[in-house]
Each structure stands twice: as C-alpha cells, then as structure tokens.
C-alpha cells in the first residue's frame, strides 16, 4: 500500500506543477496575501504546494481557519508554536504563567538575556510574529478558563 500512496501524492504534486507552469491558478502577490490574510476559500498553490501535497485541500482549509492555543513555552512549546506559525494557522495564542529565567535560554530559542524577568509568552510573541505576518500571534497570561478554551480548535 505504501508505494500506491506515494504514487498518488506524486501525481498530485505533478498536477500542481503543471497548473503552475500553464499559468492556471496563478495569483499575484497581492491576491496571495489577501487569501492568506482573509483566509478565503482559495489556497495559494505556489506558496503552499508542498503542504497541499502532504495534507490535501480540505485539511489545509481547516488548518488555515484554526485558532490554536499553546500552553507552556519552554523548549517543546516554543518548537510547537514555531511550527504552527510556519504552517499558517489563523492564529496562535501563547500561554505561560512563568517568567523567563536564565536556564530558559538553553531550551527556548526565541528568548534572549534581555527577556529575563518578563513573562515567557509575552517575550515570544514578537519573534514568532516575524516568522509569518499572516498568522495572528498573541499572548495570554493568568489562569485558563472555560471561556478562554472555547475560542480554540
């Protein structure tokens, strides 16, 4: 079964490449930015061709509409937040009650010595936002309530 799945994915990639070469579905940069910012129904195939080949069109649409909460921004949380921002979800909210300590600098690559003493979530927002301007990155501090959690997929 594995070779068959690879053939299907390879076929989808070839179809996307043919469309791109032929000019079908070709979007200007402004249209692509508008699609990303507004999260319309259209997916910029040039920008997301690899993701489309792996996830498929329906999954990509759900991904682009997802509001995600990442709670805990030590090493693993920072890596997960980075991958979500680069994948292009609608929004990522960072949650952490802890303040940056010197030992955090060894596991969270978004932090620097200047961030020591600040809240971890707030210290990471700007650097994560720089990775993808189409994703809204925000911080949430304090206790998580049911109302907070109901906003996320």
Tell me the domain boundaries of the chain. 67-150
Structure-block tokens of residue 8: 């299907």
What confidence tens digit (pLDDT) does each residue in 2-50 have? 444 444 455 555 555 454 444 434 333 344 444 444 455 567 777 777 8
Return the CATH number of the domain spanning residue range 67-150: 3.40.50.720
Query: Structure pTM?
Result: 0.68
DSSP character string of 1-26: -HHHHHHHHHHHHHHHHHHHHHTTT-
Whole-number mean pLDDT of the chain?
Answer: 79
**Which is more confidently placed, 6 or 101?**
101
Assign residue 88 a region (left: φ > 0; alpha: ψ between -120 and 50; beta: otherwise): left
């Amino acid at each position: 079964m594995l070779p068959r799945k690879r053939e299907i994915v390879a076929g989808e990639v070839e179809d996307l490449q043919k469309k791109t070469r032929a000019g079908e579905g070709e979007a200007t940069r402004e249209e692509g930015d508008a699609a990303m910012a507004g999260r319309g129904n259209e997916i910029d195939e040039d920008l997301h061709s690899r993701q489309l080949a792996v996830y498929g069109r329906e999954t990509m649409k759900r991904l682009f509409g997802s509001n995600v909460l990442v709670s805990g921004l030590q090493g693993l949380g920072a890596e997960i937040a980075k991958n979500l921002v680069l994948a292009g979800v609608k929004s990522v909210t960072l949650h952490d009650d802890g303040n940056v300590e010197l030992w955090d600098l060894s596991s969270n690559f978004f932090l620097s010595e200047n961030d020591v003493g600040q809240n971890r979530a707030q210290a990471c927002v700007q650097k994560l936002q720089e990775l993808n301007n189409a994703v809204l990155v925000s911080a949430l501090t304090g206790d998580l309530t049911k109302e907070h959690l109901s906003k996320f997929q």
